[in-house]
Amino acid sequence: MKAKINNFEVDLSKPIDISIPLTNTDANPIAWYLEKPEIKPVFFGEWTGSVKDGASTNFNNIFFNPHAHGTHTECLGHITKEFYSLNQCLKQFFFVAELISVQPQTQGEDLLIAKNQLEHLLKGKTPEALIIRTLPNLENKKHRNYSNTNPPYLSEEAAIFIHESGIQHLLIDLPSVDKEHDEGKLLAHKAFWNVKDVVHLNADARLHCTITEMIFVEDEVRDGSYLLNLQIASFENDASPSKPVLYKI
């Protein structure tokens, strides 16, 4: 089925899902020192919410952390003292997006994505959303335990460049745009959202902008322009599990 969205013609029958499913198995990716998610039936006395155990329906509780357990989208409420909800900040869901593949550079013991790399790959383009696929694009991104592994991250200068380019939505296949152990500085988060003071939010902070982390883009999806549908759950929280879906333009 073809449709025109944002003046682009796309085939809605051919979605490219770049989210990672959430499971209660060891295959689920993990970050930030937590255990795997829990998905299990509700128990009321002798009643178990499972059809295989005799109930009429399956009735599960799910315990997870959106930041630690898979693909998630967050707003600036992730780093501010005042509460901001992703469900209130994100009100549009279709965006023109550019997918780029980047080999992080070595800097001391770290691997980081630098401003000059983004400038070179974007070639002056200023899409509404930027999707970063890091190289090598290993399959274990979908299952990895990132805790205490010092994954690659985005330099502050690169985040400033993204912000100043007018890019509103950043998607990346890492657990964070910032260094894992950074003493709470969160330089890339702050630069992207233009947050100068986490206690007293500046008037020009980017309330409507989002960061999506822990995506996975298969190798056969080529770099270039796409239509992005950024789907979230309606949680009143700084972050939500999300399902970013691409469509070829």
Terminal C-alpha separation, the chain: 13
Q: How many CB atoms lie within 10 A of CB 88?
A: 13
Over the stretch 200-220, which tens digit does the pLDDT of each residue have?
999 999 999 999 999 999 999
Structural domains of the chain, with CATH = 2-23+67-248 (3.50.30.50)
Predicted local confidence at residue 245, as pLDDT: 98
Per residue in 175-204, pLDDT tens? 999 999 999 999 999 999 999 999 999 999
15, 245 contact by CB (below 8 A): yes
Q: Which sign, positive or negative, has the C-alpha torsion 2, 246, 69, 237?
A: negative
- Compute the distance between CA of residue 71 and CA of residue 159 in angstroms, rounded to an integer: 20
Tokens linked to 1: 């089925």
Q: What is the pLDDT of residues 12-43, one digit of tens each?
A: 999 999 999 999 999 999 999 999 999 999 99
pTM for this entry: 0.96
**Structural contact between residues 3 and 242, judged by C-beta atoms closer than 8 angstroms:** no
Name the residue among 78, 19, 119, 34 with its Cα closest to residue 211.
78
State the pLDDT at residue 223: 98
User: Which pLDDT value is given to residue 9?
Assistant: 87
Average pLDDT of the chain is 96
Q: What is residue 186's predicted lDDT score, i.e. its pLDDT? A: 98
